[in-house]
Amino acid sequence: MYQTTYHRASSVDEAASLFAKSSEAKFLAGGQTLLPVMKQRLASPSDVIDLAKIKDMIGVEASGDTLTIKAATPHYDVATSDAAKKAIPALAYLASLIGDPAVRYRGTIGGSIANNDPAADYPAALLALDATVKTNKRSIAASDFFKGLFTTALEDGEIVTAVSFPVPAKAGYSKMPHPASRFALTGVFVAQTKSGEVRVAATGASQNGVMRVSAIEAALKTNWSPAAIDSVSIPASGLLADIHGTAEYRANLVKVMAQRAVAAAG
């Protein structure tokens, strides 16, 4: 790791002003992505501004038809939150599948979506549930937030403060973990909104990061059942391929995970 200056911010405003004052600052949340990259000397921020202790950025709350997860809430808290389990059990379940216990105790939803790893779990939930990303400057619809591999709509110095999820009628998540990293080799989140819209998002599959799967959405719109997906064919072109999964395999997984997510959603 190179030399850096560590700051512990106590409020979102303080974090933003610290960022503005530094030459090449980075926000730090759970550090599960940023710190390994710094240790490998692939990132060398002049300043590291820790968001993880900002009280206003931690917690899970349900009110009316919305579940709000504040950005610095660790995955473990989401996985075990009564509010989350009651409002959107599939989301709590998704959080329980992230990495391993050490990662879940530290890693945060804000860090996860700001990083937008093409194999991260949360982006699939945000997209399928039509969530809204709240920042210190604005609100961004999930479909506008994710912009491809490791890119988001966030501007320099913009802080994600929370994510709010409309509570769906039904939702389910199914994930095939990558054997080494435990990220999603492919994960599919299916949701039926209270207004009857069907949204399906797959992570770990596309070369462009998290994606909607319109063919499966159409099939489920007519018939919300695993069998409805049987006849859908997912093309392998444009899908990721690596030593743990060919593009053809991932195309199969998009389908199979979607079927299992629907079964789980009921």
Partner 1 sequence: MGVEGIGARVVRKEDKRFITGKGRYVDDIKLTGMTHAYFIRSPHAHAKVKGIDSSAALKMPGVVAVLTGKQLVDDKVGNLICGWAITSKDGSPMKMGAWPAMAPETVRFVGQAVAVVIAESKNLARDAAEAVVVDYEELPAVADMQAAIKAGAPQLHPEAPGNQVYDWVIGDEGATDAAFSKAANVVKLDVTNNRLAPNAMEPRAAIADYDAAEEHFTLYTTSQNPHVARLVLSAFYNIAPEHKLRVIAPDVGGGFGSKIFIYPEEMVALWASKKVGRPVKWTGDRTEAFLTDAHGRDHVTHAEMAFDTSNKIIGLKVKTYANFGAYMSLFSSSVPTYLYATLLSGQYNIPAIHAEVIGVYTNTTPVDAYRGAGRPEASYLIERLMETAARQLNVDPAELRRTNFITQFPHQTPVIMAYDTGDFNASLDAAMKAIDYAGFAARKAQAKSQGKLRGIGVSCYIEACGIAPSKAVGSLGAGVGLWESAEVRVNPVGTIEILTGSHSHGQGHETTFCQLVADRLGVPISQVSIVHGDTDKVQFGMGTYGSRSAAVGLTAILKAMEKMESKAKKIAAHALEASEADIVIENGEFKVTGTDKAIALPMVALAAYTAHNLPDGMEPGLKESAFYDPTNFTFPAGAYICELEVDPGTGKTSFINFVAADDFGRLINPMIVEGQVHGGLAQGIGQALLEHAIYDANGQPVTASFMDYAMPRADDLPSFNLSHTTTLCPGNPLGIKGCGEAGAIGASAAVINAITDAIGKNNLEMPATPDRVWRTIHAA
Ligand X SMILES: Cc1cc2nc3c(=O)[nH]c(=O)nc-3n(C[C@H](O)[C@H](O)[C@H](O)COP(=O)(O)OP(=O)(O)OC[C@H]3O[C@@H](n4cnc5c(N)ncnc54)[C@H](O)[C@@H]3O)c2cc1C
- Residues interacting with ligand X, by CB under 6 A? 26-34, 51, 71, 75, 98-99, 103, 106-108, 110-112, 114-115, 120-122, 154, 159-160, 181-183
**Residue among 88 and 185 whose Cβ is closer to partner 1:** 185
Nearer to ligand X, 210 or 228 (CB): 210
Considering only the stretches 51-59, 74-82, 179-187, 227-235, report the one whose residues sit in contact with partner 1 under the rule CB under 8 A: 179-187
Three-state SS for the chain is: CCCCEEEECCCHHHHHHHHHHCCCEEEECCCCCHHHHHHCCCCCCCEEEECCCCHHHCCEEEECCEEEEECCCEHHHHHHCHHHHHHCHHHHHHHHCCCCHHHHHHCEHHHHHHHCCCCCCHHHHHHHCCCEEEECCCEEEHHHHECCCCCECCCCCCCEEEEEEECCCEEEEEEEECCCCCCEEEEEEEEECCCCCEEEEEECCECCCCEECHHHHHHHHHCCCHHHHCCCCCCCCCECCECCECHHHHHHHHHHHHHHHHHHHC
Q: Which stretch in 25-33, 79-87, 153-161, 237-245 sits in contact with partner 1 by CB under 8 A? A: 237-245
Q: Residues, the chain, total? A: 266
Residue 179 or 238: the one with the smaller Cβ distance to ligand X is: 179
Q: Report what 51 binds from ligand X, partner 1, none; CB cut-off 5-8 Å by kind.
A: ligand X
Q: Which stretch binds partner 1 (CB under 8 A): 16-24, 25-33, 67-75, 177-185?
A: 177-185
Nearer to ligand X, 31 or 59 (CB): 31
Residue 170: φ, ψ to 5°: -145, 145
CB 179 to partner 1: min, Å: 4
Residue 98 site contact among ligand X, partner 1, none (CB < 5 to 8 Å, cut-off depends on kind): ligand X
Binding mask 19-48 toward partner 1 (x if CB under 8 A, else -) reads ----------------------x-------
Q: Of 100 and 155, which has the nearer Cβ to partner 1?
A: 100
Q: Which residues form the interface with partner 1 (CB under 8 A)?
A: 1-2, 41, 100, 176, 179-181, 185, 243-246, 248-249, 252-253, 256, 259-260
